[in-house]
Amino acid sequence: MLITKRKFGIFNFGNIYFAEEPFSVALPDCNVITYYTYKNWGDIKGYEKNKCLRTIIDLTQECDAIWKRINRQHKRHIQRAEKNGTIVKMSNNYKEFHQIYKQFLKQKDVVDPFGLNILSSEFMQKYGVLFIVENQSEIIGGNLYFHDKDTAFVVSTAYKNFENTIENNKKADSNCYLHWKAMQYFKKMNITKYDLGDVSSDDIKISHKLNGGEYFKRCFGGEVVSLYKYTKFNSHANKLLFHLWNFLQTLE
């Protein structure tokens, strides 16, 4: 289980990841509390329930078995990154990664006028584990992870934008390579699940019609599972304000 707390504006947010059962943690100073779990606890009075799909790699498998399930194109990216001297390592350089992260969100046209979903570098450093990928001593990008004793999941991914094709190919190589090395690292920690993030479909056959990010995740060969979010507000007024805030973020 992992607990994060974050203050933004008038709200104090508490997130509880992968608790074995509901109500196992008390966060009385939080206005909004959300449990994230792969278990379906059913409908719980006082909590809003939402479900999304995630793609997960089973790290209890041998590395060879994980490798066999990875898409052939991803394997080529990984092998090319190794050949070109790309380096993946854990880092405390959260400030530089944060600058890349903010620029990355801007390039992706992420709509977040209030900055609610943009994490601070201090928050990243307090709760996260940062992996960066370098080539010729230049940081190309990185992944921020949260983890507990059983699950590691990607919180944020960010890469520099390159204008020429060669450099963009290097970015694709580095992205695949980082995930592969991170899986190996977390496997050595006896973590059993590597969560690549949200997907929209649980179809067994992976289609090129999927958007680029989802196709990228699915090509690692993971299983698609449900993630449940249970959210509780400490007052009806805060609930209305929170939903209004989320609605306004959808407006450009």
Q: Which amino acid is at 34?
A: T
pLDDT tens column, 114-173: 556 688 899 999 999 999 999 888 888 999 999 999 999 999 999 887 666 566 667 889
The token pair at 208 is 């090129």
- The label of the residue with tokens 């090509």 reads 219
Domain boundaries, the chain: 2-54+228-249, 55-198+207-222
The C-alpha atoms of residue 56 and residue 221 are separated, in whole angstroms, by 9
- The label of the residue with tokens 């943009």 reads 118
Neighbours of 245 (CB within 10 A): 15
pLDDT tens column, 63-111: 999 999 999 999 999 999 999 899 999 999 999 999 999 888 887 766 5
pLDDT tens column, 4-17: 998 877 778 899 99
pLDDT of residue 123: 92
Distances (CA, A) of 110 to 103, 113, 163, 199, 200: 10, 9, 20, 17, 18
The reply to whether CATH 1.10.150.110 applies to domain 55-198+207-222 is: no
3-state secondary structure of 218: helix
**Is it the case that residue 206 has pLDDT exceeding 90?**
no
Share of the chain above pLDDT 90, in %: 56
Pairing of strands 138-147, 151-159: antiparallel
